[in-house]
Amino acid sequence: MLTWLIYDISNDKIRNRVAKRCKEAGLYRVQKSVFLGDVEKNRLDELHLECGEMIEEKTDSLYVFPMCEEDFKKVKTAGNAFDRELVSDEILSMFF
């Protein structure tokens, strides 16, 4: 399932741990705090739980948006929607 994982985490150490976990789960970084990838449902639930346990509930935010392929194709972007320093053309071609 195509999934967006977006976070706002104030603590650098926690933010780095969450980013590392996202990469380990097979997500690709598309912005500094935005990841995108194809993740199986059970793995997505596991990732959500793990990352949710890492963050500070009172100050941090974590969003997980699963999307079907049909809805994903309707996503619209403008400007520098993907950070070219973080995302290679090869990865972009996987999604668009």
Phi and psi, residue 58, nearest 5°:
-80, -25
Q: Angle CA(29)–CA(4)–CA(81) in degrees, nearest 5? A: 60
Quick one: pLDDT band at residue 65, thresholds 50, 70, 90? very high
- The domain ranges of the chain are 2-95
Q: Which fold has domain 2-95?
A: Alpha-Beta Plaits (3.30.70)
pLDDT for 72: 77
- Reported as a single tens digit per residue, the pLDDT across 3-59 is 999 999 999 999 999 999 999 999 989 888 999 988 888 899 999 999 999 999 999
pLDDT in the model for residue 38: 87
* Whole-number CA gyration radius for the chain: 13
Residue 95 pLDDT greater than 60, yes or no: no
